Each structure stands twice: as C-alpha cells, then as structure tokens.
Structure 1
Amino acid sequence: MGIQSWLSLWFGLTLPAIVLMYMFKRKYVDTTVPSHLLWERVLRNLEANRPWQKLQNRLLLWLQLLAAALMVFALMQPFLQVSGGGSAHVVIVADTSGSMSAQMQPSAEGEAVTRLQLMQERIRDYVKNQGRRSEITLLSMGASPVTLLSHESDRTAINKAVDGLRPYYGAASYRETLSLASALTREEPDAEVVIFTDSYWKQDTVPIAFQVPVSVEKVQGELPYNVSIDQFGISAKGELGSSYGAVAVLSTNAKEAVSAEVNLYGDEQLLTSKVLELSPGKKLTESFTDLPFAEVYRLELSGEDGYAADNQSFAFGLGHGSSRVLLLTSGNLFLEKALQLSGAEVTRVAWNDAEGKKDEDEISSTQADKDSAASETPPVPEGEFDLLVMDGAVPAGFRQGKWAELTVKTPLWTIGGEGDKVGNQGGRPILAKHPVTNYVTLSGVYFGTLLDQTPAWGDAVVKLGDQPIVYAGNESGRPRLSFNFLLQDSDLPLSPEFPVMVSNVLEWMTSGKGSGLGRYMAGAQADIPIAADTVSAQWVPKNGLALADGISPEEALRNGQGVSPVQIVPEIPGLYAFEQQNEAGEKLRYWLAVTADPYEAEWSIDQGPPVSQTSSNQDDTTAGDRDGSSTHSENASRAGSLMPWLAALALAVVAAEWGVYQRGRSI
C-alpha cells in the first residue's frame, strides 16, 4: 500500500469543519402562546439559542463525514503494489551508476551504507515478496547495458547476481538500459518492469515507451555531504622549468560554508598541506607554487565525505627538468648547451675524434676511469637515462655489451654516423607535420655532406628538395630520430631555430618518461604505446579508490597481433600503471589516471527515469506513441487534475446546504 500525494491531506480539514457546524447548530425552546398574534413577539423574547452543544447521533452527520473522508482518501491517490505477484516475468533495472556509491546517513546500528547496498537489500526483498512467483531478468548499467540474469527462477542465483552489483563510474548507459528493458518486454503480455534508482538521471526530454506496467523504486536517502576536486593540473615554472606550480578547483554541496583540508603529494612525498574555506554554490580556485619535479602528483582531500570518487586527483610532471640525457660525442658544445637550455640533465661521454685527439677532461669520474687507456671504452654510467644521443660516428666499442643493451631500451637520437656519403643536391627545406618540426622552418640553413641511409623504422620528416635528411619513428616501442648529416658540416647550430628544434626533440622523445598518459574517464578508450617485443601487459592499481577497494591487476586487451594498442581503461577511479613485459622479463610502465564521470556527483536535479506506458495493442510507429501523447502516466496525470475540482464541488454542495443547518431544531 502506498500514497502518491500526501499533500492532499489538507482537504482533511473539512472533517473538523463539519463537526463544528453541527456543534454550533442552533437549538430552539418549545413555547406555548395564547395567540398567533403574539408569535412574532414571542420569537423575539423567548428564543433561546445554544450554539455549543453535545453532538447527537445523526445519520446526516455521519454521511457527510464519510463523504469528506473518502474525498480526502481519493485526493491522496492511494495505490496497492500487487503487480509483482501476478506477472510471470519481471525485468529489474538496477541503477549502478557512480552516484549509487554515495554513502547514506549511518543506520541505527551506527554503520554507514551506500545507496547501492540499500538497493541490493530492496531488490532482494522485492524478489522474495512481490516477485516470488516470477521469472527475473536483471539489468545493470555500464558503458552499455549489462544483462546479469535472463528469465531466472533460481532464487539463489538471483541473490548471487544482486550481491555482485558494483558501481560503474564512467558515462553510464541510462537510456540504452531502459531501451533494452522495453525491448525485452515488448512481446510479453504478462510482464512488468521495476526500476531501482536514486533518481539522479541525466536529462532526457524523450521518454522511453513501455507496453507493460513500469514502476520506479527510489533508493535515495538523505542528501550526502560532499566536497569534490573538480580540476587539478601541473605546469612548469621558470625559464628552465626548475620549479612547478599546481592549480586546483574545488566545490561543495554543503548549504553552509565549510573547511576542507587538502594535501598535495609528489611521488608519494607530502609537499604541502592547506585548509581551504569553501562557500556553497561557488567554486574555489587554489594555487600551489615552488613545487619540485615529480612523475606523479596527487591532490587528496583529508577526511571522509559522502562520495569518495572525487576526493583524489592525479597529474603528471610535464617538464624536462629531470630528463637525463646521455650524450656520446667527440665534442659538440652547441648541442650540449642546447640540451641544457631545454632543461635536460646532460651526462657527456667523449672519445677520440678522427685525428686521434683526446680531451680527457671531458670524461667525468662517474663515467670512466681517468687512468684508463684512450682506446678503452668507458663503462655505462650508472642510473636510468631518458634519451641517448650519439653525435657522429661512434666507435665500435659503444655498440657492444652494456652499451648495446642501453641502446636497445632507451630512446635514441643519432646525428651523422657511418654510411655512404652523397652530395647535397640543394633545394628548399620541406617539413612534414611532426612534433620535431614545430615552430621551425629551417629556411636559409646550409647542410653539407649527407648520409645515404633509409631506416626501416621511420619516415622522413625533413627533406631538402627530394633528399630526406631527418627521419623519425619508433623501434621496439621506443622513439628513434636520425639526422642524416653532421652538425659540424652544417650551420644549423648557428641558427636561432636550433635550440627550438632541440627542445622539440627532447619533448617528443621523452614524452613517455614517467609514462604520464593523462586522465581518462572510467571505461573510456585509450591509445597506449605498445613495444614490439611485448608479450604481456596488465593494469596495476597504484593509488586512489582503485587501491583502497583492493582491485586486482587486470590483464590488458589483446588482438590477433598481441597486446592491443587500443585499451579500455579500468572502471574504478584511481592511479594505474600499464605495465608491459617482454620475453626477457623487462618491464615498461606507463602511468594513467582514471576519473569518474563528473555528472555522478551532481545531485541538484532529481528527475527520475524518463518512462511512459503505452497500450499493448498500440502500434509503436504511430505518432502518438513516438511523442508520448497517449501514455499511462500522462492520462493518470490528467485524471488526477480533476480531483481538486471535485473537491471544490463537494465544498460548494456543503455550502449550499447551509440552510439545513441554519433551521436548527427544537427542544
């Protein structure tokens, strides 16, 4: 039993009004007079009116009270939920969007539950009572509708599926799930649809038409308190990117001003903490300055609120301040300074030039033993490098052993080198659209002798007339760049565009450093660079809600060629590492932040699912069905709108009968 309009209880005031009318009804005293000529005088002198009296048991009073009570009951639009016991097939639509993970107020036992947990309990009760003789189809919302059960009669299996419902934080398939529920029941005369939801649905002006009874079960509770991180970003500051700044935008749904403590971490080291004052209905923009470089920055709200999916946000270091470049050269001051101006940390290893000269001061103590012979190859410097630059014809010793292993696993930029020489045919530089050629034209630059080599791993991004002189591409999943000329044979280092081009090279070739692939909404597609020798890959949760919920690593999607470069990001917000592994056990890692659909934290619009009901024998293609003009819900609304007029008519009838009460009675 339920009531649709508690507001109609106002008409119940007619009951005490009727009782008061009877209590104030006039009573007259019977008096004997000698002559009718004295009647008028007797009425004036002997009339006795007793307005306040004990109620008498009169049939007219009880009939009027009964009529008024029935009118009040009708205005309240009562209903009795009995459809579940009679329908052979019940389609249950479970709203598993992100907003269902919001916490409700603690129960009497002191335990806080989410809307999803309450919905699971309500669905189990529904299946046990109203749907006890029905077959159950259970639908949930993901990136697309998910059919968990179909025409299931086993209550154990139904309860197990209900217990397995989990929130989906991406863009939920609201309309698609309703359309599937409508299609599943279109040809079934003895079926119904029950929607369990918190009623925070995205606005949709066109309702979904159902040919079977459809009802909505609200699972909402009191509005949870929430503070959210709406935006968070990192940018490099200073000329050389020596420091970094962050900007965050926060908001709250609180009705009064509240304080929120935020903590900013860099590679899990606390960098700063602030207490911010948030005003209702306003967004607060807060800046953080003088931050050191970090691969991953994390902004976290301290404390708990009703919605945990927006309490943390991640950003990735974008500058080159910590890019480590290993430069193999016989001496190139212009190149080294250009790399340093781009913010790189350059480690230089030098060797004898073609004339056998050697500058021992150019070899640092960490790179080679000062007492070693000039002919010996220095050891590989310790640590990880983000870019290896080979300037000129590198001796054979640098292409063997540890040096060869470093060359394979590190982005490589070769300048000149070994190979057949060809004459410069001249011509105007032609630049393809590529990150390396941004903001440069190379107009007026002289190029000397060129190398005749065409690498299989790349495409020409700069041509001199018809002659390719710069190749760019990827080999084994790592960037490769080749200049088919020596800088010493060109006046490019003297051009003002040279530092710009070096900065472009550094930015492009180290863009995978730290693996900051950016932010993606849960369930979205992401393009992931896949190394050619990768044999396996997986998503590993590292922080945020994903780690707090104990999510296990998830295997990456595969295609016919191996690990697919197009991946579906995980469905739980947080920080993930996409880890690739080759046959040798070497791992390549990319960072990726997963966020929730921001709409799921917007609880100001409570509109419910857009549904309408049409007659089962009505043609779906009629205009009336398409525009929803002949729906059950709208007809009920029209019928309901007549009730206030009927109530007003009843009041008018009572007022017209005032003469009955005014005549009174004698005693």
Structure 2
Amino acid sequence: MGIGSWLGLWFGLSLPAILAMYLLKRKFIDTRVPSHLLWQRVLKNLEANRPWQKLRNRLLLWLQLLAAALLVLALMKPFWWAADGGKEHVVLLADTSGSMSTLTGAAGSSSADRLEQIKQEMKDYIKREAKNSEITVLSMNAEPNVIISREKDRSRVNEAIDSVEAYFGKAAYDETLSLASALTRDEKGAEVVVFTDGQWRGNPSSIPFRAPVRVISLESAKGMNLTVQQFGVKEEPSGMTAVAVVKNNSEAAKPAEVNMYGDGKLLKTATAEMKAGASATLTFKGLPEAGVYKAELDGKDDYMADNSAYAFSRRADTARILLMTRGNLFLEKGLQLTGAEVVKMSLPETAEGAAANPLSKAPLPENKPDLVVIDGTLPSFAAQGEWKKLLDSTPVWTLGGEGKKVAVNGAQPKLASHPANQYMSYNGIYIGSVIDRKLPEWASPIVSIEDHPAVIAGSANGEPRLSYLFNLQETDFPLSSEFPIAVHDAVSWLTGSGGKSLGRYTAGTRIEIPLAADIVSARWVAKDGMAKERKVPNLEAEAGEKGINVLQQVPPVPGLYAFEQVNAAGKKLEYLAESAADPYESQWSKDSGKLAEIGKGDSAGEAAGAARQASASDDREGNRSKVPLTTPLAVLVLLVILAEWGVYQRGRSI
C-alpha cells in the first residue's frame, strides 16, 4: 500500500476538534434533590457550565471520529500495488529499417540480429505490461504497414510479431508514427510503445500524440561496418576501369579488402587501411569487358546489406548489329540512330565480284552480334558451316532479295498488331511490288498489300525473325518520316533478349520499366548478392486492369535482380537492376538525437506530452500498477455518516 498525497494530513486537525467539542460541551446530569425546584435548576446550570469534564463512552463520538479519520485517509490518496493488466489498447511500433538487420554478436558471427532482439522485447512487454490489452502491431516499410489490429489472441499476436522483417529501402518513419497517433487519438485507455535500435530519421516532434508514448531502445554496441559507398565503370583505351569508394562507418580502424568481379568471375583484388569514419578510393584498371561488374567487400561484418555494389557496362546496353549489305546508306544510318553498334560487312554487287572475293572464307565476327541484318539476297556462305550456326542462333532481319515479284502498284498496306509495327501506318508510302515467296513455317504476315504478304515475322530455333518482302531501293520508304521509326521498332523487337540494364536504385523505389507490346507476364528474379543468399522468391510484377503496370517497385532485399518479361510466344525479355540498401541505415557514427522527441508533438502539446509520459512512468513500477483507494474510502465515510444519523435519531445523543 502507498500514499499518493501527504497533504491530506492537514484534515487530521478535525480529530482533536471533535474531542474538544465533547470536552467543552454543556452536559446535564440528572440529580435527585429532596427540596425546592428552584435550587435544582440553579445546580444544573452550574454543573453544565463546568469545562474539561471527563469524556464518557458515547457511540456518536466514536462514529464522528471514525468519519473524520476516513476523510483524512481519503484526502491522502492511498493506493494498492496490484498486478498490471495494461492499457485497453496498446499499439506496438517496430522499427524495421535496414539497420535492424545488424548482428548483435561479434562481427561475422551467426548470432541473431537486432530485429530478433526487438521481437523478443515486444513479446516480453506484452506478457509483462499488456496482459489484457488489445494489441496492434505496426512496422515501417516504404509505407506504414499494419501487421495485426486490435487483437487479444496472444498466439496470433506472437505470429504477427514473428512475421516482421527488415526493410532495406527508405523506411516511413514519420508516416508510421503518424498512423500510431491516429489510431490512438480518440481513445482514453490507449498507449503507444516504440521499439527501436536508437537510429531514427524524420521529424517526430511534429507528430502530436494524445496517448502516452513510451520508447524502448536497444542497448547494443554499434559493431563493425564497412560500406561500398560508390561504384562505377568506364571504358578506356587500355580496357575497362572500375572505381569503388569504401567507407568505414565503425568506431574502430579496420582494413578493407575489395574483390572485383566481372560477370561472376573474380578479376582483381585491392586493399586499403581504413581509419574510423574514413573513406578510401580503390581503382581497378585494365579490366576485361563484361556486362555486369561487382565490387564486394571480402569477409563479413555486422551489417551485410551494403557490402557490395554493381555497375553495368555501357556495351551491355548497346546492341551489336552486323549489317551485310551491298550498299544502303539509309538503312545504315537508320540502324545507327537506334544507338546500336553497327558493323558493316560489304557484299559483292555482282556474281563476278563474288567469284573474285569468296566470302565463304570470311572469318566470323570476334564478338557475337545481337542482330544480323541482311540487305538483299542472302549470301551463299550464310547457308553453310559456322556462318549458318551463327545465323541459326542469332536474330535475323532480311530485306528484299531475289524471287518472282507481284505488282501491288502502291496500294495501302494493311497492318496486323505486332511490336515491329506498333507505331507505323505506312500512309503515303509507295511500294510498287512485293516478292511472291512461299512463307516459311515460322512466318506470319504482319503487313499485307492486296492480300500479298509484305512483311513477315516469327520465331525460328527460339530466335526472332523479321523479313521485308520488298527491296528498299525500289520504294520511297527510306524517304518517309516513318522509316527511322520502323527501323527502331524492328531493332527493339529483334534484340529484346539482350542484357539490358535499368541501373541502381534504392530498395522499394518505384521505377518505370519499358514493356514489350505483347507481354503476358513479368516477374523479378534474384540473380546475385544478398537477395540470392537469402533465397528471395520470384516476385510477380504488379498488374492492373490493362495488364502489367509500367511503374514497378524495386524488390526490398538488396542484390542484383532481373525483371523478366514473357510474351505470348514464350520469348523472354530481361532487364537487369540493382536494389541497394538505404545509405542512411549504415551511418552508425551519427546519433540522430531524435528519440527524445517522439511523443512530444508540437510546441503547444509538448508540456502535456511530457506530463503524460511522466504520469505513465510514475504510475508503474516493474510489472505493478497503482489501484486508487479514494473511492472506496469515500463510500465508507458515507456509510459511517448514515450510521451516525441513525444513532442520533434513536435519541442516544448528548
């Protein structure tokens, strides 16, 4: 039992006052006198006016003293310590930002991370101080995430807490606090408890709370953390050069060893001595050409999400086109406008020239092209040997050639829906004749003129094929404003299976991804890094009523991903992207100093918020809470007064 206010003792002066009233009150004593009545009255008056008489045992006196004593006790605000059942509604806010994945043991050990420690703290808090409360659990992703709402079933609450995972993107600190404030704004018996590792961003002082707010911060060492802060590659005459900037975010010196990979193969290694809080720039020169480069810190530290970074070679995004032609300036320029790397192979214009210069002995390209464009008749050497193997395994675009021609006299073409002509109309384009050729099994007409196929497309041996059944030199198509568009659409469709890159983005960021016109499904596939180590499952692309959305969210776990698109024919289109952890979460050396501001609200409500938190801390001690006794004491005083009135009515008063 305890006393809430000792100021109530001043009412204890009522006790001697009641005693004084009885000591000084007139008291008439019945006495028999055998003589005159007059003398009897005089004697009574003399005896009644005599002070400080001996107190007599009167029930009314004891009842009045008891009532006064109970009033004194009630004014002192007594209370009992009782087992705490908690508030009616408790909102648990879990800090799930990237820094919560930091290991709590020795560097590189297999100990649990901070998030696992936070989960246990949340469960212990519920057992200790929220036994009978309704529980709401919030976490911080790109947006506030309600894990479970107003749940009393402890098994379901524990399952919800176990399902909480770290989010490596830019966490919604203020937004989640604002949601917690809104959930408890109109509730009297509510409480908000924030579980965090102490690293907090945002502006919590701008969020007002009407409910008490408690912050439970982990007490753990900052640990060891090296970060690949920046990474990039560039092409130089001596080869590819990569530059990596490494920073030591720890409070102790540590050597850094960085491994450089190209398309998964270890190329070079460099080391640097890193002082606490210092940065170092490592340069790797003369690297061989690769599509994807990776800089990775050797070994493990306490925060693994920032130990690697990726860079994409510009050549990986540039299609290599082999143009086999007898001379077509418009076609060559059109291919170059697409941004592709065009290698021109000149073919002999006549049979005599072919005999004098047999191309069957021509060597294959040093680097396999992403597309082969054949302008005119297919060369004889392309139908045999290694050249045939190359063409069978490479997208091919043919234009014109030999064969019987059918006159169409500039009639208006009819277009079928296809990515290769999605922006075309062929209005005002004169095509005098088309080649009357038996269509191969893979071909389907996508442009027809008077029921004669003019452009055919399809897939052979798993590679796309496109063929114009007319010679460009015999039309005014190259002079049309639509010609560069047609070339761009053709190259985009034919080279869609190449290794394109989207770049590096913070996890959870929404980016715009180019989608193929005939796409039927898409998904994110983990290729390397932490995402592959954690065996992140394939993430289906976001879709709406009109199909796959152009805006997609980068996966939340850091690593290298491929955004795979599949069209109706089963052909895959792949874009590579790096999902990187929010760099703020690795800056351990900087104390945000904002934890003390959580729950204060604006300046007008700061005093009220402080009073609420002080009241919350004063009203609880360990796993006990105060049960006030003022109300039952007041009821007891009322009963005593009623008893006193009953005694007075029976005439037993003085």
TM over 0.5: yes
Matching of residues 141-156 of structure 1 within 5 Å: 141-156=140-155
SS in 1 for 2:131: coil
**Cα shift at 1:569:** 1.2
Q: What is residue 125 of structure 2 aligned with on the other side? A: 126
Q: 1:526 — aligned with what?
A: 511
Q: 2:485 aligns with which of 471, 474, 481?
A: 471
| Residues 159 and 608 of structure 1, relative CA distance in 2, 3 Å threshold | farther
Unmatched segments (≥5 aa) in structure 2: 1-80, 366-376, 403-434, 444-456, 618-654
Residue matched to 1:247: 243
CA distance in 2, matches of 1:359, 1:332: 22
SS in 2 for 1:297: strand
- Aligned 8 A contact 1:148 1:161 in 2: yes
Structure-2 change in CA distance of 1:538 and 1:398 (3 Å): farther
- Give the SS at the match of 1:471: helix
Q: Secondary structure at the match of 1:186?
A: coil
Structure-2 change in CA distance of 1:253 and 1:354 (3 Å): same
In 2 relative to 1, CA 333–192 (structure 1 residues): closer, same or farther, beyond 3 Å? closer
Distance change >3 Å, CA 111–CA 535, structure 1 → 2: closer
- 1:117-159 Cα shifts (integer Å, max 9, x gaps): 1001111111122111101000000010000111001111011
Mapped to 2, the partners of 1:316 and 1:297 lie a distance apart of: 6
Q: How does 1:82-121 map to 2 (within 5 A)?
A: 85-106=85-106, 112-121=111-120
Structure 1: which amino acid aligns with 2:92? I
Q: Is the 8 A contact 1:320 1:343 kept in 2?
A: no
- CA positional deviation for 1:88: 0.7
Give the AA of the match of 2:389.
Answer: E
SS in 2 for 1:192: strand
Matching residue's letter, 1:362: L
Question: Is residue 2:574 matched to residue 1:597?
Answer: no
Other-structure match for 1:325:
321
Cα distance, 1:417 vs. partner?
4.1
Q: 1:611 aligns with which of 585, 595, 598?
A: 598
> Aligned partners of 1:636, 1:373: CA distance in 2, in Å?
84
Please state whether the residue corresponding to 2:515 is helix, strand or coil.
coil
> Which residue in 2 is equivalent to 1:300?
296
Match 1:586 to one of 547, 558, 571: 571
Could you say what secondary structure the match of 2:169 adopts? coil
Q: What's the CA shift for 1:294? A: 0.9
Q: CA deviation at 1:281?
A: 2.3
Distance 1:343 1:562, change over 3 A: closer
Over residues 63-84 of structure 1, what are the superposed CA-to-partner deviations in whole Å (9 max), with x where a residue is unaligned? Answer: xxxxxxxxxxxxxxxxxx9997
2:358 alignment counterpart? 361
Match of 1:35 in 2: none
The alignment partner of 1:535 has SS state of strand
Q: Which residue of 1 aligns with 2:19?
A: none
Q: Is the 8 A contact 1:520 1:593 kept in 2?
A: yes
Instruction: Give the distance between the partners of 1:366 and 1:570, measured in 2 at CA.
Output: 44
* 2:98 maps to amino acid: G
Instruction: Give the conservation status (yes or no) of the 8 Å contact 1:322–1:345.
Output: no
User: Given that residues 138 and 147 in structure 1 are in contact (C-alpha distance below 8 angstroms), is that contact kept between their aligned partners in structure 2?
Assistant: yes
Q: Distance in 2 between matches of 1:123 and 1:205?
A: 21
How far the C-alpha of 1:334 sits from its partner, in A, is 12
Structure 1 match to 2:32: none
Distance 1:559 1:205, change over 3 A: closer
Within 1, Cα distance between the matches of 2:465 and 2:316?
A: 15
Q: Distance in 2 between matches of 1:512 and 1:520?
A: 22
Partner of 1:554: 539
Residue range with higher mean Cα deviation, 82-91 or 558-567: 82-91
Q: Secondary structure at the match of 2:159?
A: helix
Decide whether aligned partners of structure 1 residues 178 and 120 sit closer, same or farther in structure 2, where only a CA change above 3 A counts. same
1:382 corresponds, among 383, 389, 394, to: 389
After superposition, residues 586-665 of structure 1 pair within 5 angstroms as 586-603=571-588, 604-609=590-595, 610-613=597-600, 627-633=604-610
What amino acid is the match of 2:227? S
SS in 2 for 1:631: helix
> Matched residues, percent identical?
36
Number of residue pairs aligned between Structure 1 and Structure 2: 470
Amino acid at match of 2:359: E
Query: Which residues in structure 2 correspond to 1:505-524 (within 5 Å)?
Result: 513-524=498-509
From the superposition, tell whether residues 563 and 295 of structure 1 become closer, same or farther in structure 2 (CA, over 3 Å): same
- Output the CA distance in 2 between the equivalents of 1:474 and 1:321: 15
Contact 1:246-1:287 within 8 A present in 2 as well = yes
* Deviation of the 1:411 alpha carbon: 10
From the superposition, tell whether residues 373 and 186 of structure 1 become closer, same or farther in structure 2 (CA, over 3 Å): closer
- The equivalent residue for 1:535 is 520
Report the Cα offset of residue 352 of structure 1.
5.5
Residue 317 of structure 1 and its aligned partner are, at CA, apart by 1.2
Shift of 1:382: 3.4
The one-letter code matched in structure 2 to 1:98 is G
Q: Distance in 1 between matches of 2:545 and 2:82?
A: 53
Change (3 A) 1:283 1:376: closer
Distance 1:181 1:334, change over 3 A: closer
Farther-moved stretch of structure 1 (588-597 vs 602-611) = 602-611
What residue number does 1:418 align with? Answer: 472
Instruction: Return the match for 2:553 from 552, 568, 572.
Output: 568
Shift of the 472–236 alpha-carbon distance from structure 1 to 2, 3 Å rule, reads: farther
| 1:181 is aligned to 2:180 | yes
CA, structure 1 residues 546+366, in 2 after alignment: closer, same or farther (shift >3 Å)? same
SS in 2 for 1:200: coil
Larger radius of gyration between Structure 1 and Structure 2: 2
Say if 1:202 and 1:383 are closer, same or farther in 2 by CA, change over 3 A.
farther
Distance 1:302 1:513, change over 3 A: same
Q: Residue 524 of structure 2: SS of its match in structure 1?
A: strand
Q: Provide closer, same or farther for how the CA distance between residues 414 and 362 of structure 1 changes in structure 2, counting only shifts above 3 A.
A: farther
Distance 1:373 1:560, change over 3 A: closer
- CA distance in 2 between partners of 1:270 and 1:87 (Å): 58
Gaps of 5+ in 1: 1-80, 423-449, 454-459, 461-467, 481-508, 615-624, 641-667
CA-atom RMSD, angstroms? 4.2
**Secondary structure of 2:289's partner?**
coil
Counterparts of 1:481-496 in structure 2 under 5 Å? none
1:203-352 matches, within 5 Å, as 203-204=202-203, 206-238=205-237, 243-319=239-315, 324-331=320-327, 344=341, 346=343, 348=345, 350=347
Q: Could you tell me how far apart the structure 2 residues matched to 1:547 and 1:522 are?
A: 15
Cα offset for 1:473?
A: 7.4
Q: Tell me the alpha carbon deviations over residues 99-130 of structure 1, each in whole angstroms, 9 at most, x when there is no partner.
A: 111111259xx852211010011111111221
Q: In structure 2, do the counterparts of structure 1 residues 573 and 91 end up closer, same or farther at CA, with 3 Å as the change threshold?
A: same
Q: Which residue of 2 aligns with 1:425?
A: none
Contact conserved, 2:96 with 2:115, CA < 8 A, in 1?
A: yes
Partners in 1 of 2:83 and 2:553 — Cα distance? Answer: 40
Pairwise CA distance, 1:167: 0.4
Determine which structure has greater relative contact order: mean sequence separation of CA pairs < 8 Å that are 6+ residues apart, divided by chain length.
2
